């Protein structure tokens, strides 16, 4: 069953995102989805002082806007942006809190995954099926020996082949976005995604 790319499945209903960005909440309506966010929609929710403090401590005001846009993009099962997201900085700054937020928020749509294992372990790609976010909490900065799976998952234009231990291979179209935190940039990324700004 194809997923609706304009819907966000929540515990207390469904958010529908219109083409103009307007949001409609359908309380109590739970449409088909292989994952469901681990939170309720509450239009009257107050401020989130701890989250905003973390944002203030880690990001400049300009970067906060970018981070909020990334979080919004992660809410829908679409890879149209064809991006992976990496939060880089020195140790002890609180980058790994992002993983805790993603895990808590995305529930069974979240999968902890090592970026390097996408190429090195033939069973890792299958763990992305029916997930909306995969996250590497401590990205290895070593260069990937190859980038076939990484690039295919980020662009997600064609189905990928998954394999589980003791079972036949299968195909699925991934919609999970790759997110990671680390102290160093993955050296292969410089080769994959260097393009001039528009």
**What number is the average pLDDT over the span 185-191?**
56
Q: Is the pLDDT of residue 50 over 60?
A: yes
Question: What's the alpha-carbon Rg for the chain, to the nearest Å?
Answer: 17
CB 109 within 8 A of CB 174: no
Q: Dihedrals φ, ψ of 10, to 5°?
A: -120, 170
Strands (E), 23-126: 23-27, 85-88, 110-112
pLDDT tens per residue, range 55-74: 998 899 999 999 999 999 99
More confident residue, 10 or 192: 10
Structural tokens at position 119: 């190429």
Structural tokens at position 176: 């999970």
- C-alpha dist (Å) from residue 104 to 33, 100, 124: 18, 6, 22
**What number is the average pLDDT over the span 88-115?**
89
């Amino acid at each position: 069953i194809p997923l609706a790319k304009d819907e966000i499945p929540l515990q207390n209903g469904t958010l529908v995102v219109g083409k103009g960005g307007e949001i409609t909440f359908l309380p109590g309506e739970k449409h088909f989805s292989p994952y469901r966010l681990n939170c309720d929609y509450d239009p009257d929710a107050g401020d989130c002082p701890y989250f905003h403090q973390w944002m203030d401590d880690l990001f400049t005001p300009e970067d906060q806007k970018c981070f909020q846009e990334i979080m919004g993009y992660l809410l829908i099962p679409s890879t149209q942006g064809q991006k992976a997201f990496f939060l880089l900085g020195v140790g002890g700054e609180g980058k790994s809190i992002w993983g805790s937020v993603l895990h808590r928020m995305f529930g069974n749509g979240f999968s902890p995954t090592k970026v390097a294992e996408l190429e090195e372990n033939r069973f890792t790609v299958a763990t992305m099926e029916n997930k909306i976010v995969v996250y590497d909490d401590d990205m290895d900065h070593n260069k990937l020996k190859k980038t076939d799976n990484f690039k295919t998952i980020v662009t997600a234009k064609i189905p990928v082949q998954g394999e589980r231990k003791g079972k036949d291979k299968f195909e699925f179209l991934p919609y999970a976005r790759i997110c990671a935190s680390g102290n160093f940039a993955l050296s292969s990324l410089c080769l994959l995604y260097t393009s001039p700004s528009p």
